[in-house]
Structure 1
Amino acid sequence: MIILHMVPTSIHVLIIEDNPGDARLIELMLAEHPEDGYRPSFAVRLSEGLELLARQPFDVILLDLSLPDSHGLSTVQSVLEAAPATPIIVLTGLADEATAMAAMKAGAQDYLTKGQGDGETLRRSIRYSIERMHTDEEKRQSGERLRRALMQTIQAVGLTIEKRDPYTAGHQQRVAELATAIGRELDFDPDRLEGLMLGGVIHDIGKIAIPSSFLNKPGRLTVTEFALIKTHSAIGYDIIKDVEFTWPIAQMVRQHHERMDGSGYPDGLKGEDILFESRIICVADVIESMASNRPYRPALGIDVALEEIARNKGRLYDETISDACLRLFHEGRFSFQGGEGPIA
């Protein structure tokens, strides 16, 4: 189905322009076709324009880049912050075209050079800017729907893995929650946090290829059985390496059992060769595993898990990540839901 974005039948235009002659010319151009329903409002200073935007919505903004109280890109940025969903058309002099192009990169929909073009050019730019803004918003909403679908799919994959291993039911989700808390403690931006969370949720995806009898074995594993289980990180990598995530999810999955001194697997990576997100998942994985029941032993408890991290930080586990994790627990800002210690 083709969706046509309709320009409003009545178009409320905010004109922020300090030159009376230019403002009057714009008004006359908009009035050439009264059936189009243009309703102009005027401001001669940026501050006046922002006050109008705070009081009522507009369909489009015509913005001079040189005002008594603002000049250049900061003018555009101020208007974008006040009305992020309203298209902006920059008005510029002949010498300001480079700035106008920079303004478009910053978020303006179009620009017009003063003294050039006629009323039809102005009205066409207004229609184009409104339609483009609608299209951009639809793309944003579509991208958000795809993102939610991806999240739900990954959650479903994680649950599928854990259905085969009831002793670790919820393990990946709890690892993801702790890893995300550590990332937040280390000032990760929201996008990087989201990638870290997704990596945590499926870090054990490779276990889907491991016999459930091995995963659920109540006694000690044989050397052969343990060697097979250790292949799960490489298998997980192979499963998702061709999925075009915007984050290095495949590397997180492959490297979450690597150790800072090179004693981990599957590649024996050391130090900075290990992806930072993988180092975070590693610490979260160790803590959750030790604090929870396993087929071959009861839970060791959160205190023992934290002692393991404190004792081996800098050798097995990244020191910065370990310190951040220990702070979260010791200051009562994180605990596994239903587990020991204060609730986050």
Structure 2
Amino acid sequence: MRDPNAPPIRLLMVEDNPGDARLVRALLAETGGFELSCAETMAEAQSWLAENAADAVLLDLSLPDSHGLETIDRMRGLAPMAPVVVFTGLADEDVGVAAVKRGCQDYLVKGVGDGQLISRTVLYAIERKTLEVERAQSADRMKKVLLQTVRAMSLTLEMRDPYTAGHQRRVANLAVAIGRTMGWSEHTLEGLQTGALIHDLGKINVPSDFLSRPGRLSDAAFGVVKSHAAVGAEIVDGIDFPWPVADMIRQHHERMDGSGYPLGLTAESIIPEARVLAVADVVEAISSHRPYRPALGMDVALAEIRNHCGTRYDPEAVACCEKVIAQEGEAVFGEIALGQ
């Protein structure tokens, strides 16, 4: 039950039929608790919203300057935080479902129900919108904590292995630049960055001597080093990331022709993020210093991916990597902001 001492709900009704608007005003006057403002067009609604805040919007879908479901999109653009209840003469369930899918909180048919129904529907819409906002804020906080944890894991590994200090960050920055050039969404890029920042996490299970020893390793020792991809994936397998992070880690040494490890996957069996990560990883590794050799330089790194394009490495990832390096050079290894 609504608190009788609470301030009135500021309801904006966008309706071009004066008779319908008068009826709703009369019905809500009987229930009380509402401060109703009316606009006959989307342009009027925009002007009103520029100077006022609405707790909820009652929206007709047939207006002189806006018609159909696009009216919902326009209203959500004008008042993204206000819950929207569609109010129309179309008794069409499909329209109601489509309206809710476009972000409306509810759907009312004109001439059906009384003031109590309208009141309950608007109050429920406000409650639903509040819960949606709270869930989104909670998810955002959880994601930030998750990403902070990922960064901490990355730094922990780099402190243990000074020769690869910064390697994961540089790979992540190059991978994101490649993915962005490929036209990936910010959500997918965020996942790519997350996986790249801990793609070598499994090396925490490799003796530090194997990671820093100059010269070639024995086949047995190299086999232990190669296990890092599978081990890293196992470490994060139980974490409910909103991206396929475990697969990125497991597959970042897979190659298009099946010559990679640990599973010998080929082509489309390798997820797109891992294909991009493979290119970024090898370019950074070849162009940077390693305990068993000095840095070979960017020209050698690009020659590696170019000479094995389509066999070891994904052609689109290679082409986009070359484009990124041509535009930015090694400055691409610096920090890249995502959604900040």
Normalised-by-shorter TM-score class: over 0.9
Asked if structure 2 preserves the Cα contact closer than 8 Å seen for 1:5 and 1:131, the reply is no
Query: Which residue is equivalent to 2:310?
Result: 314
Farther-moved stretch of structure 1 (41-50 vs 94-103): 94-103
**1:11 shift after superposition:** 2.0
- 2:17 corresponds to which residue? 19
Q: What secondary structure sits across from 2:92 in the alignment?
A: helix
SS at match of 1:299: coil
Give me the whole-angstrom Cα distance separating, in 1, the residues matched to 2:50 and 2:330. 40
Quote the residue 1:158 is aligned against: 154
C-alpha deviation, 1:47, in angstroms:
2.4
Q: Following the alignment from structure 1 to structure 2, what is the Cα–Cα distance between the partners of residues 8 and 192?
A: 43
Q: 1:12 to 1:261 in 2, by over 3 A?
A: same
Q: Does 1:192 align with 2:188?
A: yes
**Count of equivalent residues:** 334
CA deviation after TM superposition for structure 1 residue 331, in Å? 2.2
Letter in 1 for 2:212: N
- Which structure has the higher relative contact order (CA within 8 Å, separation 6+)? 2
1:206-225 correspondence to structure 2 within 5 Å: 206-225=202-221
Aligned to 2:264: 268
In the alignment, structure 1 residue 303 sits paired with structure 2 residue 299: yes
CA shift at 1:62, angstroms?
0.7
Partner of 2:49: 53
Moved more, 258-267 or 148-157: 258-267
Name the counterpart of 2:200.
204
* Conserved 8 A contact 1:7-1:127: no
1:180-217 deviations in whole A, cap 9, x for unaligned?
11000000011111111111011111111101111111
Deviation sequence 1:88-124 (CA, Å, 0-9, x none) = 1111225334312321221111122211222222222
Matching of residues 136-175 of structure 1 within 5 Å: 136-175=132-171
Q: Structure 1 pair 212/7, CA: closer, same or farther in 2 (3 Å)?
A: farther
Equivalent residue letter for 1:167: Y
Identical-residue share of aligned pairs (%): 49
Amino acid at match of 2:45: G
Which runs of 5 or more structure 2 residues have no equivalent in the other structure? 336-340
User: Does the aligned pair in 1 maintain the 2:31–2:115 contact within 8 Å?
Assistant: no
State the SS of the aligned residue for 1:40: strand
What corresponds to 1:342 in structure 2? none
What CA distance in whole angstroms lies between the structure 2 residues aligned with 1:77 and 1:329?
39
Cα shift readout 1:214-234 (whole Å, capped 9, x = no counterpart):
111123212211111011111
CA RMSD, aligned part only? 2.2
Name the structure 2 match of 1:90.
Answer: 86
Separation in 2 of the partners of 1:331 and 1:337?
13
Structure 2 residue aligned with 1:29: 27
Which amino acid counterpart does residue 183 of structure 1 have in structure 2?
A: G
Please say which of residues 96-105 and 315-324 is displaced more in the overlay.
96-105
Q: 1:327 aligns with which of 323, 329, 332?
A: 323
Q: Pick from 104, 120, 124: which aligns with 1:128?
A: 124
Instruction: Tell me how far apart the structure 2 counterparts of residues 138 and 20 of structure 1 sit (CA, whole Å).
Output: 36
Show the counterpart of 1:287.
283
The answer to whether the Cα contact below 8 Å between 1:178 and 1:284 also exists between their aligned partners in 2 is: yes
5+ residue gaps, structure 1, are 340-344
Q: Tell me the equivalent position of 1:229.
A: 225
Secondary structure (helix, strand or coil) at the match of 2:37 reads strand
1:338, CA displacement in angstroms?
6.9
What code does the residue aligned with 2:226 have?
Answer: K
Instruction: Give the aligned residue type for 2:78.
Output: A
Q: TM-score, normalised by structure 1?
A: 0.91
**Is the alpha carbon distance of 1:88 and 1:252 closer, same or farther for their aligned partners in structure 2, counting shifts above 3 Å?**
same
Instruction: Give the Å deviation of 1:33.
Output: 4.7
For residues 292 and 271 of structure 1, what CA distance do their matches in structure 2 show?
A: 27
